[in-house]
Amino acid sequence: RNHGIKVIVDLHALEASQNGNDHSGTRDGFIEWGDSYIPQTVSVIDFLAKRYGNKPSLGGIELMNEPQGVNLDSLKKYYKAAYDVVRQYNPNAYVIMSNPLDADSKVLLSFVSGFTKVVLDVHYYNLFSDKFTNMNVQQNIDYIYNERASDLSGVSSSNALSFVGEWVDEWLVQGASKQDYQRYGQAQLDVYSRATFGWAYWSYKCQYNHWSLKWMIENGYIKL
């Protein structure tokens, strides 16, 4: 608070798992979250909104992280119910809705048109997909300036704010030089800085150097 830092309260893992990954409340990879789990998930948001909703350092409340493999209608039903709960405690807090990882980034654009102070969260990694396996340095950089820029522009075209909630200066390129990483990181900064709610690096401190923004800045890979 003394330094003007805002905090996003993020419901990162849901009971029954919203994406089957180990950071989402599952050990076996099963995705069981759906309509039957909406009431108890909303109750968690109610608890968080009641506790933090009027704190001056609140930057926003994110309703879910990286849904994948869940029914879109169920997701919208949950987002609407959770949004209404947050509004009971704070009419002005930003409510952040994570775009499904397995859907087009514009899939929620018409849905969010009925809300105020809503943020759409997209995560961009040139990882976790076979299409990046054989890309060289320049192809990765071009992908940021072309595909990522176009995608983000589409997300930013709605009444909701756009947020690149996760990105990292890492890729599948083998033997890349420090200069390669600098160019790739700068390309991402150039594009993701256009997000109307800003961006967040994953993460600030991490045991893996390129995933640690602190290490990347201190060692001259990224310059803010």
Q: What is the pLDDT of residues 106-156, one digit of tens each?
A: 999 999 998 999 999 999 999 989 999 999 999 999 999 999 999 999 998
Mean pLDDT of the chain: 93
Q: Residue 28 — pLDDT band, cuts 50, 70, 90?
A: confident
State mean pLDDT over 54-65. 94
Q: Which domains does the chain have, with CATH numbers?
A: 1-121 (3.20.20.80), 124-224 (no CATH)
Q: Which two tokens stand for residue 178?
A: 């420090």
Greater pLDDT, 40 or 25: 40
Residue 211 pLDDT: 97
- Quick: pLDDT tens for 65-115: 989 889 999 999 999 999 999 999 999 999 999 999 898 989 999 999 989
Residue 202 CB neighbours (<10 A)? 15
In this structure, the dihedral spanned by the alpha carbons of residues 32, 34, 36 and 39, taken in order and rounded to 10 degrees, is 120
Residue 13 pLDDT: 87
State mean pLDDT over 57-70. 93
- Furthest C-alpha separation in the chain: 52
- Whole-number Å distance between alpha carbons of 30 and 204: 29
> Which is nearest to 22 in space by CA: 12, 35, 34?
12
Q: Residue 48 — pLDDT band, cuts 50, 70, 90?
A: very high
- Whole-number Å distance between alpha carbons of 185 and 205: 17
Q: How many CA atoms lie within 13 A of 200 on its CB side?
A: 17
CA 91 to chain centre: 22
Residue 216 pLDDT: 98
State mean pLDDT over 40-63. 96
User: What pTM was computed for the model?
Assistant: 0.93
Whether the Cβ atoms of residue 188 and residue 169 lie closer than 8 Å to each other: yes
Three-state SS for 4-69 is CCCEEEECCCCCCCCCCCCCCCCCCCCCCCCHHHHHHHHHHHHHHHHHHCCCCCEEEEECCCCCCC
Q: Residue 184 — pLDDT band, cuts 50, 70, 90?
A: very high
Residue 70 CB neighbours (<10 A)? 24
- Whole-number Å distance between alpha carbons of 110 and 100: 15
